[in-house]
Every structure is written in C-alpha cells, then in structure tokens.
Amino acid sequence: MKDKLNNIKGNKDLYETVLVGTGTIVGSFFSYLLQFILGRKLSVEDYGSFNTLLSVSSLVGVLSTVLGVSLVKVSSDLYVNEEKEKLKLLFVNISKLSLLTGAFLFLVVFSSRYAISNLFRISNVVVISYFAANVGLSILNGVPPSFIRGLQRFRRFSLYQVLSCLNRFLFPTILVFMGFGLTGVFKGLTISSILTIVLGFVLLGLNLRTFKDLNLTKEYKKILSFSLPVIFTHLFTTSLTNTDLILVKKYFSPLEAGYYAGAVTLGKILLFGAGAVTIVMFPKISALYAKKEDFYPRFKNLSMILLGVLLVGILSYSIFPALLTKIFFGISFENSVKYLPMFSIGVSLFVLVNFFTTFFLAVEKTNVSFLLLPGVVLQYLLITTHHSSLYEVIEANIFACIITLVLLVFYFYAQRSKWLKTSLKLKS
C-alpha cells in the first residue's frame, strides 16, 4: 500500500489528479447528499423545478465561468513569471468588478421573477427572488477559486471544494427540515454562497494589505481577448448539459421531468468525478504553453487517466443502476433507473468533449467554439422535434456529443503534427 502511494506521488499529474479528484468526490458527496435529501423531502414536481432553475443558473452563469477560465489562464501566466504584485492587484480589481456585475444581474433576474415563474410553472415567486440572489453572487463566487487554480495550489483548491460543498449542503438542508420547502432551499443556497466567497478569500492567502501601483493594461487586454471567444465556447458546452433539462420541463409532465432530473443528478456524479482530470489539466498545460515547453506528453498522460475513470464509471452505472438510484432517492424515483445506463454514456461523451475543449483553450486555440455549435443546434432540433419519450431526449444528447467529439478529434489531429515538431525541437 505504501509503495502504491509513493508511486502516485512520483507521478505528479496522477498525484494532483487524485488530490483534486478526492476533493471533488468528497465535495460531490455533500452535493449529492443535498440532492438525496431534496429528492425525499420535496415533491417530485418541486424537485424538478429545483433542477430546472439550477440549469437556468448554469446558462446565466456562463459569464462567471468564462471569467473564471480567463483568470486561471492569466493568473497562471503571472505565477510562472513570478509577478506576485500584479497578481494581488488583479485579484482585488476583478473582485470589485464582479461585485458590481453581480448586482446588475440580480436586478435583471429579480425584475423578471414573474415571467420566470410563469415560464417554468413555479407558483411561489419568492423562490425566484432567492434564485436571483444566487445568480448575482455567482460572479464573485468564482473569482477566488480561479486564482487558487492558477497558482496551482491544488491542496487548497481541494479543501475549497469540500468546504464550499459542505456549506451548500448544510444551510438548504437545515431550512428544508424546518419546513420551508423549495423557498428554504434557495434561501440556504444564498447564505452558503456568501460564506463560500469569504472562504475563497481566506484560502487564496494573498496579502491584500499593501499594493503597488502597477499597470495591468496588458492583463486586462488578455482577459478580454481570451474571454470573448471563450464566452461562446462555454455557452455551447453549458447548453449541451442543460438544454435537455429545460426542454424536458417544457415538453413533459412535472412528474416525468422530476424522474429525468433524478437520472441527470446521478449521471452527473460521473461528470464531476472525471472532471477532476480537466481541472488539473488546464493550468498545467497553460503554464507549459506560456513557457513554450513541451506539453504533449503531459496531455497524453492525463488523457489516459481520464479514459480509465470514464470506463469505471460506465461499468458502475450499467451494473448497479437500481442500487445507485435506491441509495440516493429511495423508491420514489425508481422510474429513473431505466435511463441511467444510457445516460452515463452521454455524460462520458460530454466529459471527453469538455476535456478536448479545455485543452484547446489552454493552448489558446479559442476558435474551437465553432466546432461546438453544430452539436448544440443538433441537440435542440432533435429534442424539439422528437420527444415522445425520455429515451429520445437521451439519444439526442448522445448523438449531439458524438458529432461534437468527432469534430474535436479531427481538429486535434490536424494540429498534432505541429505540436510533435515542436516537441522534437525542444528535446533536441
């Protein structure tokens, strides 16, 4: 056992993947424990509404995600060049901007609360009000962990994942058990978001008491130039994982939408677990690219780790779907069992799509967004024209991801010869 641990530590990529993966799994335990409790304490209809609003927040939160990716990229470059004072000033300025942007988003969603309530057939408008607060806080919430990743402080990032998910579990659960229902869930999420922001500032560990008056024009330009194409990239990847839930809520009964939400919740355990490899990969490849070092061997190593994780995941969901569903939701969601094996294939394909997309962003191939658009359009068209059963929705997801993955792999091999030539030059 000791030898195995030493072997893992000797392979830095594997060690940091295990480290982040452990944090992701433990954090996901609390996330899915919340889903477990909500699946039992809320009605199937309210549970479907909860997951629909989460999907909407993911689409609205593309801005936060894009900013986060850009900050990981820029902070990683500053880190390898040892420009600590610029890092501090950039963090403070971006935090202020995020706070103002979040306030604007809150006002937009809050003023639209009645329209959102009618669109998704959610009778309690107060739920939408707290949902608006969560959307507003999401921008600032993503800033500290992005810098933690950029500085490659993976131990702290792993701890952040665990504690932030614990917050996210604790407060909604308490309020649900107090009888506040779906309103209590989003009220608790608002409280946990505030505490998580404070946690991120503490774990980042930057000395923010003193600053130097530095020119950050170059960094701001890089964030903007990187963010603009990345907006489309993340809008499209987010659409691939959330459009189905939103359309299912529209075309199917609240009960069937709830069953589908159960399958999605269980399937995304694989997404979060395998996503640890992508989390580790992005700053590492980005740093190697910034230093003009050979990144292809690192990418190959991480790819093999990811494929191994996905294979184990698909086998688990194919062999134990009923057991997993019963553990999380009990018998209330037993109709979700039949969808799980097929859904796990769709999730695995999306994980690969996300891995390749993130890799291209790390090496500044930001035009990759155009390769995602056909899959997004295809998914929407297939679901809107073929939705006689939930199986057809899952099939649409799988087909859209296959088309997207094929395009990404072709693009990868088109660029591969250039990277191999660079690798040979560096070795010689």
Q: Other C-beta atoms within 10 Å of 76: how many?
A: 26
SS3 208: coil
Domain ranges of the chain: 20-427
Give per-residue pLDDT as tens, 272-303.
667 777 877 877 787 777 777 778 788 888 88
Residue 327: name the closest of 21, 45, 42, 33 by CA: 33
Q: Could you give the CA distance from residue 361 to residue 357 in angstroms, rounded to a whole number?
A: 6
Dist CA 272 CA 278 (whole Å): 10
- Give the pLDDT confidence score for residue 8 in this predicted structure: 47
| pLDDT (0 to 100) of residue 382 | 94
C-alpha 88, offset from chain centre: 25
Question: What is the C-alpha R_g of the chain?
Answer: 21
Q: Kind and range of the H or E element at 140?
A: helix 125-141
User: What percent of the chain clears pLDDT 90, i.e. is strictly above it?
Assistant: 17
pLDDT digits (tens, 9 = 90+) for 86-100: 888 888 888 999 999
| 120 DSSP assignment | T
Longest Cα–Cα distance of the chain, Å, equals: 68
Cβ atoms < 10 Å from Cβ of 167: 21
Which range has highest mean pLDDT (33-47, 116-130, 368-382, 404-418)? 368-382
Instruction: Please say if the pLDDT value at position 213 is more than 50.
Output: yes
Kindly tell me if the per-residue pLDDT of 428 is higher than 60: no
Answer whether residue 343 shows pLDDT above 80. yes
Are 313 and 344 within 8 A, CB to CB? yes
Lowest mean pLDDT among 51-60, 241-250, 359-368, 400-409: 51-60
Output the pLDDT for position 257.
82
Q: According to the model, what pLDDT value does residue 12 have? A: 63
The pLDDT of 60-77, averaged and rounded, is 79
B/e letters for 332-363, b = 16+ CB within 10 Å, e = fewer, are: bbebbbbbbbbbbbbbbbbbbbbbbbbbbbbb
Cβ(368)–Cβ(258) under 8 Å?
Answer: no
Q: What per-residue confidence (pLDDT) applies to 368?
A: 86
Task: Give the model confidence (pLDDT) of 8-35 as tens digits.
Answer: 455 566 666 667 667 766 777 787 788 7
Q: How far apart are CA 322 and CA 331, in angstroms?
A: 10
In terms of pLDDT, which residue wins out, 207 or 179? 179
Question: pTM, whole model, 2 decimals?
Answer: 0.65
Which of these, 27, 104, 20, 31, lies nearest to 63 by C-alpha position? 104
What's the whole-number mean pLDDT along residues 371-394?
A: 91
How much is the pLDDT for 331?
Answer: 67
Q: Given pLDDT bands bounded at 50, 70 and 90, which one contains residue 188?
A: very high
Dump pLDDT digits (tens) for 131-148.
999 988 988 888 999 888
DSSP per-residue codes, 398-415: HHHHHHHHHHHHHHHHHH
- pLDDT for 409 equals 92
